[in-house]
Structure 1
Amino acid sequence: MEDSPALGAADWSELPADILGIVDGKLKFSDLFRSAAVCSSWRSAARSLRRHGLYTRPQTPCLLYSTAAAGSRAVELYSLADKSTYTIPLPDPPIADRTIVGSYHGWLVTADTRSELHLLNPATGEQLALPSVSTIEQVNPVLDEAGNLQRYDLSFYDAEIPRKEYQPPQPFLLEDLRRYLYFKVVLSGDPSRGDCVLMMIYNPYRQLAFSRVGSNKWNWITTSYRSSMYSDCIYHDGAFYAMNRQGGIHRYTIKGSCATREVIFKDTSPFTPAHKMYIARTSSGDVLQIWRETSSPIEDSLETQTTDIEIFKVDFGKQDILDIDTLKNDALFVGHNYSCCLSIIEHPGLLSNHVYFTDDEEYSLIDDQDYRRDVGMYNLGDNSVFEIVSPQPWLNWPVPVWITPSFTKINNK
């Protein structure tokens, strides 16, 4: 005779599906995965919640990276909330063959071996193709005699009139163009919740182009590199705020296929700085400029390490920046992800007054893949740098990136 539950003992596997759904909806990302491992009914409830896009609890960012153990079609997520790692299978094309050029609202922006962009949600497995690379203004696809795509030619011009090409068009193999062309892609919001605009910072000259999810082309924003050379971009209150490498901030309002530019903050540096620059908003609404300095620990190597991070508050009224030495109860995330500050009160797994960074060194991504990536945390209080995980488990390609898991799906069927 089979053993039966002791008299009065609760059989948690028999909880009704609707009750399980309510409980699962309150769990952290990591706890949802643990609950799915309890038994078949709990696993089914967790899958149903994710499949129908009903899991909307705010999450703490995770570090997404690839490993040899996970293989070419899966990634690891290291949770900052519980310091645990989870393996997530992904759809084709293999993540090992992609570059990552953006991350926001739980979605990655990736470029495949033909330099075509995709939106990918690792938590749900949903994937969307973005407009073809061939619709970017300076990109010209070249076909062979049989009509097959052979390469891309990239032209080096901006919107300066009369048009000047500073060098002849350069040929790129299909998989090589992505490494030079794409700098960063920023989303206006969660694609699963409706209309979503993407703003791309791309080369040559760190120009801008935008598109909507579901559109078939990239719309070129016609600016001169002398006034652009953008370093980062965020979305706020219905507009994109793009910051150039001199610290100037330009607000872009998108209507249809047109973009209207307004210069809302003057350039703060007369020259192009050697450090990387980001723009972000604090949880209280202040706009920040972030300057990140790196150096190479090995002579003549492209490998870099973060050595200093400076934070400046933007004063739009005085058209000036104020050096600040604390983020108070915020933590800052920079890299190929959307640059953002998160409150440690709402995300207790994070450290206040710390900058969480990943490697986004432009030239190293173009010229080399095989070296130790610059990933870690920077303490603004004592200017110390330390690792997220030691020893570092990730492969060098694609580069690790911050992502906030989202189980919300576009097609809730």
Structure 2
Amino acid sequence: MDWAGLSVDLLIQFVVRLTVIDWLKFRGVCTAWRHAAKLALGSGRRPKPEPPWLMLAGRRTDRTTASFLTFSDDGHRRTAPLPEPAIQIRMWIGSAHGWVVTADDEFSLHLLNPVTGAQLRLPCITTMGFFHALPRTEDGRAAGFLFHHSSFLALHWPEERASAFPPDELPIDRMPLRFLRKAVPLRDPSGSGEYFVVMIHGPKFKLVFARQRDARWVILPSAYQFHDAILYRGQLYTMTACGALLVWEPDGETFKSRVAVPEHDEGEEYVSFKKYLAESLDGDLVLIWRERRSSRGEDDSSASDEDDDDYAEPDPTVGFQVFVLREGCQGSEWKELHDLGGAALFIGYNSAVFFLATTT
């Protein structure tokens, strides 16, 4: 039988019933099968859900493949081809809809689909208005950026008179971890190529967004510092350092926020907690407090201060508290959860996600 001669419609019916690893194998059979998988992906069809993969870090010299640990087949290691150019040296700062936002060693930002290899270049951070690129080195490499404090302060606190700080010179190797906290693709660009990304950036953890038609990062002025952002039920929600939950809605060519839950009143100690937003398996919005113990000494005033945006040595985690958003007599409020049921909660540097703990 000529398996390559099967109709495209029939092949698509097969491929949408496969898990990710089998989808990749399907694409490698022949040109016709690869074409069917591409059509399925372009029409918004996705691989069958399965337990998460853990992407393994390492110092391998092979930059053409990535290693994963899977839970659906007795914890076997799997490899998958990586798109060109090599992405192993990139920092991954957020994902949604099967797309990942990455920053490379020159601080260029891309949307990447690690399964198909598709990439979309995002605007340069210089379009924000307060970063300017330094001249390149003699061998043609990016050197870094100048950060203009006065321009930054005028955007977020226009009513205050900005001090005349000299610009900071920021070497390129300090940029990704210091100035990128999280990015969230709000739209699936598969097929149309139209992207829409929101990003929390340093300093002071502020919000910007970029759309295909803008070709630049657009500032969302706010006095708040933001710890997390999530796309929930089609809307953007953000969590501030002081515990206020904001929901963002279109306002002409930009967005405006409203307070869904006011800021917390637990005092200064609470502000030092790292805060995450996640969607539970039941579809509820969940807030996670991550309490940390400083490893930098009691005399270090920056130990619990996130204004410096640095991520050098992670502080030990000493506890978590989990809350679910509920409607109360006076509006939305957080109710503490003491049991996750059959869910497992994965928490990383800038994101939290729920998965089913068992398959039975």
Normalised-by-shorter TM-score class: 0.7 to 0.9
Describe the shift of the 1:183–1:28 C-alpha distance in structure 2 as closer, same or farther (beyond 3 A). Answer: same
For the residues of structure 1 that align with 2:87 and 2:283, how far apart are their CA atoms? 35
Deviation of the 1:245 alpha carbon: 1.6
SS at match of 1:96: coil
TM-score (norm 1): 0.69
Match of 2:220 in 1: 221
Task: Name which of 116, 126, 141 aligns with 2:133.
Answer: 141
Aligned equivalent of 2:58: 67
Aligned AA (1:47): R
Within 2, Cα distance between the matches of 1:180 and 1:197? 23
In structure 1, C-alpha distance between the alignment counterparts of 2:134 and 2:26, rounded to whole Å: 52
2:36 corresponding residue in structure 1: 49
* 1-structure distance, mates of 2:15, 2:216: 40
1:23 pairs with 7, 14, 17, which one?
A: 14
Name the SS of the counterpart of 1:176 in structure 2.
Answer: helix
Q: Note the 1:117-156 alignment, pairs <5 A.
A: 117-143=109-135, 150-156=143-149
How big is each residue's C-alpha offset from its partner over 1:215-266, in whole Å with a ceiling of 9 and x where there is no partner? 4100001111xxx111101113442110012221111123553111111110
Alignment CA distance shift 1:221-1:316 (3 Å): farther
Q: How far did residue 136 of structure 1 move? A: 1.9
Describe the superposition over 1:102-146 as per-residue Cα deviations: whole angstroms up to 9, x where unpaired: 122211111112211001111001011001111123312234799
| Residue of structure 2 equivalent to 1:332 | 345
Unpaired segments ≥5 residues, structure 2:
301-311
CA distance in 2, matches of 1:245, 1:100: 22
Corresponding residue SS for 1:278? strand
Distance 1:337 1:22 in 2: 36
Deviates more, 1:298-307 or 1:80-89: 298-307
Question: How many equivalent pairs are there?
Answer: 330
Q: Secondary structure at the match of 2:172?
A: coil
1:342 shift after superposition: 4.3
C-alpha distance in structure 1 between counterparts of 2:133 and 2:4, whole Å? 59
**2:102 match:** 110
Structure 2 counterpart of 1:32: 23
Check 1:21–1:264 CA distance in 2 against 1; reply closer, same or farther (3 A cut).
closer
After TM superposition, the structure 1 stretch with the greater mean CA deviation from structure 2, 143-152 or 319-328, is 143-152
Contact 1:234/1:338 (<8 A) preserved: no
User: For each residue in 1:346-381, what CA deviation from the matched residue of structure 2 results, as whole angstroms up to 9, or x when unmatched?
Assistant: x838xxxxxxxxxxxxxxxxxxxxxxxxxxxxxxxx
Quote the residue 2:202 is aligned against.
Answer: 203
Worse-matched range after superposition: 240-249 or 311-320: 311-320
| Match in the other structure for 1:177 | 175
- Please give the TM-score of this superposition, normalised by the length of structure 2: 0.78
Is 2:341 the partner of 1:311?
no
1:72-91, aligned counterparts within 5 Å?
A: 72-82=63-73, 83-91=75-83
Identify the match of residue 266 of structure 1 among 247, 259, 262: 262
Q: Does structure 1 retain, via aligned residues, the 8 Å contact 2:56–2:67?
A: yes
| Match in the other structure for 2:248 | 252
Alignment correspondent of 2:336: 323
Runs (4+) off by over 6 Å: 144-149, 296-301
CA-CA distance at 1:278 after TM superposition? 0.4
* Separation of aligned partners in 2, 1:110 and 1:280: 21
Q: Which moved more, 1:12-21 or 1:135-144?
A: 12-21
- Matched to 1:334, the amino acid is I
1:322/1:95 CA distance change after superposition, 3 Å: same
**Hey, what's the Cα distance between the residues in 1 that align with 2:212 and 2:359?**
33
In 2, Cα distance between equivalents of 1:148 and 1:304: 33
Structure-1 separation of matches of 2:163 and 2:77: 48
Q: Distance in 1 between matches of 2:126 and 2:47?
A: 38
What is the Cα deviation at residue 287 of structure 1? 1.8
What is the SS of the residue equivalent to 2:184? strand
Q: Distance in 2 between matches of 1:73 and 1:152?
A: 30
Higher relative contact order (CA 8 A, sep 6+): 1
- 1:338 to partner: Cα distance: 5.5
Distance across 1 between alignment mates of 2:39 and 2:163: 50
Match for 2:267: what amino acid?
P
Please say if residues 131 and 218 of structure 1, whose CA atoms lie closer than 8 Å, have aligned partners that are also in contact: yes
Structure 1 residues 48 and 77, CA gap change in structure 2 (3 angstroms): farther
Between the aligned partners of 2:60 and 2:145, the Cα distance in structure 1 is: 34
> Is the Cα contact below 8 Å between 1:248 and 1:267 reproduced in 2?
yes
Across the aligned residues of Structure 1 and Structure 2, the Cα RMSD in angstroms comes to: 3.4
The C-alpha deviation readout for 1:294-328, integer Å capped at 9, x for no partner, is 45789999255544322112335345422111222
Q: Answer yes or no: is 1:302 the counterpart of 2:310.
A: no
Taking the aligned partners of 1:17 and 1:69, their CA distance within structure 2 comes to 41
Distance 1:143 1:303 in 2: 33
